[in-house]
Each structure stands twice: as structure tokens, then as C-alpha cells.
Amino acid sequence: MSGRRISLTLRVAVLLALTSAVSTIAIAQERAAKDAAAPAPKRDISGVWLYQGGGGQEGIAPDKDMPPMTPWAQARFDAERPGYGPRAIPGGNDPILQCDPAGFPRYLFFPQPYEFVQTSDRVIQFFEREHAWRPIWIDARSLPKDPDPTWSGYAIGHWEGDYTLVVESAGFNDKTWLGATGYPHSEDMRVTERYQRVDRNTILYKIRVDDPKAYMRPIIGPERMMKLRPGVEIAELPCVWSEENSFTKRIREPALGKPNK
């Protein structure tokens, strides 16, 4: 009798656990199916998006997929002292630590969201990180022949079908790193991006960097994902020297064992 009761209790417990697990999965599947079923609007990538990636230390491609550098780029790379990656040392000379702009494309891969606003002639990207913005002209103009170098470059875009925005950009200065591990680039860098909106909530993102002055071959990034964040308002995260300096003195340096002045 006692054995039968235990057996019955065990069966009920297993059934409850099973029901709970199955219902959890069913809810997740239903939500995923609903998301996937929602059609992407045509020729529209507006909205607040969150990159589904790392914590801000990513480069264009993983180290193993980076092409060989030219001697020019190698000399720069060797002089860098990054705070992340296989060559990481505490402290370092990452330009963003002195409030230099991370610039494009680095600010796409931070963990803060960005908003894309679309008008008839451009897509404007507003980044929470750095409180920066970048216009992408979609009015059929060409890239300028000899643009003055800037932190974010000059960008033009066109639609390939109804769901993929192809963006080409040039005119970058050579002061930014291609990610926190310290890969350099030159003013000759040209970037091609593909924003493919596969459903309402998802952009698949691809990036290719051509910079023959710095790399022997193009850098091809892995396919990345951005997710729509309905209801989210982007905040402000500018690099303010007084705040950065205070943070360095109160947290960064003490963390390294330096006295807190």
C-alpha cells in the first residue's frame, strides 16, 4: 500500500514537472512563432534595435578570421595596448579611454541600443553609446570622390529588394580602432554593410571592410543579429571627461591596485 502511494506520488510529481516544462516550451514556441510570423515592413528598418552580441569588446571579425596585416598596419597594431582580447593588459591606450569617439563601425557592437529613424532621403542611426549619430543617404547619390576624413565616414545606401538595405561608406579618419582588441585601419577604409530585415523583430547584419593599405584581404564579419526593442527609449551615454576621469580615479585605478587618490 505504502509502495503504491509512493509510486502514485512519484507519477504525479513527474507529470507536474513534465506539464510545467512542456507548457514553458509551448509558450516560448508560440511566442517565437508569433514573432517569426510577423512580416517585416517593406523598405523600413526604423525602430530601436539591440545588437545581440558581446559586451563591447568585439572587432569586425574574430581574431582567427582576421586577414594578415600589411607592415604599415602591423606597426600600428604592435604599438596598441588593448584592454581586451589575447593581448589584453590592464590600463592600456584604447583611444576611448580618453573620450576619443569609438567611431563607426565600432559603436555598432556595444551592448547599448540604437535607434534608426527613416525619412524619404536618409536613414539616421542614433547611438545611445556616445550619443552619436550617423546619416545614411538613400537618395541615389554617389559616395564623394575625395571625402574629408571623419570619425563616422560618409554613407550611402540602397534597397536590394524590399528587405535588405545595402550601405557603403568611406571617408574615415584613421584614429579609431576596429574593436577593443586594437586592430587599426587606414583612411582608405571602405565598408559595405547589409541590413536584412528577415521579420518584424530581426535584422541579420553583415559587414565587409576593404582596406588594402592595412590588410592583405578584405575583413569579412560573421553574420550578426539585431533585435527590435519595442517601447525602449534610447538613453544618453556620452563620454564626458569629468565623469570618465572620476571613474578612472575611483574604480579603474584602484581595481589595478593603485591607490585611490
Partner 1 sequence: MKPKLTTSAALIVMLLVTCSSMLAHHGNVAYDEQHPITIAGNVTEFVWSNPHCQIYLDVKNDKGDVVAWSVESQSPGILHRNGWTRDSIKPGDHITVTLVPAKSGAPVGFAGEKTGKVVFDDGHILRMDLR
Cβ-in-10-Å burial (0-12, 13-18, 19+) of 125 comes to: buried
Given 128, 168, 193, 211, the residue binding partner 1 (CB under 8 A): 128
Our finding on whether 117 is near partner 1 (CB under 8 A) is no
Q: Which three cell numbers stand for residue 197?
A: 530585415
Count of residues near partner 1 by CB under 8 A: 44
Contact positions with partner 1 (CB under 8 A) in 192-251: 229, 232, 234-240, 243-244, 246-247, 250-251
Give min distance, CB of 143 to partner 1, in A.
33
Q: Tell me how far apart the alpha carbons of residues 85 and 68 are, in angstroms, rounded to a whole number.
A: 17
- Is 37 a residue that touches partner 1 (CB under 8 A)? no
Binds partner 1 by CB under 8 A, chosen from 46, 70, 93, 112: 112
Among 90, 144, 212, 222, binds partner 1 (CB under 8 A): 90
Q: Least distance in Å: CB of 110 to partner 1?
A: 10
Q: How many residues does the chain have?
A: 261
Q: Which of 25, 36 has the CB closer to partner 1?
A: 25
Least gap, CB of 57 to partner 1 (angstroms): 5
Cell 517601447 appears where?
A: 231
Where do we find the cell 574574430? 62
Nearest CA to 114 among 130, 128, 124?
A: 128
Nearer to partner 1, 50 or 166 (CB): 50
Q: Among 14, 38, 79, 198, indicate the residue that binds partner 1 (CB under 8 A).
A: 14
Give, rounded to a whole angstrom, the gap between the first and last alpha carbons of the chain.
74
Separation in Å, CA 12 to CA 19, 80, 85, 145: 10, 62, 51, 74
CA dihedral 194, 197, 201, 205 (to 10 degrees): -20
- Considering the complex, what minimum distance in angstroms separates the CB of residue 162 from partner 1? 29
How many CB atoms neighbour CB 109 within 10 A? Answer: 24
Distance, CA of 155 to CA of 152 (rounded, Å)? 9
Cβ–Cβ < 8 Å for 113, 229: yes
Smallest distance, partner 1 to C-beta of residue 260, A: 7
- 255 lies in the binding site for partner 1 (CB under 8 A): yes
Nearer to partner 1, 13 or 38 (CB): 13
- Residues 50-69, interacting with partner 1 (CB under 8 A): 50, 52-57
| Residues engaged in binding partner 1 (CB under 8 A) | 14-15, 17-18, 21-22, 24-25, 50, 52-57, 83-84, 88-90, 111-112, 128, 229, 232, 234-240, 243-244, 246-247, 250-252, 254-257, 260
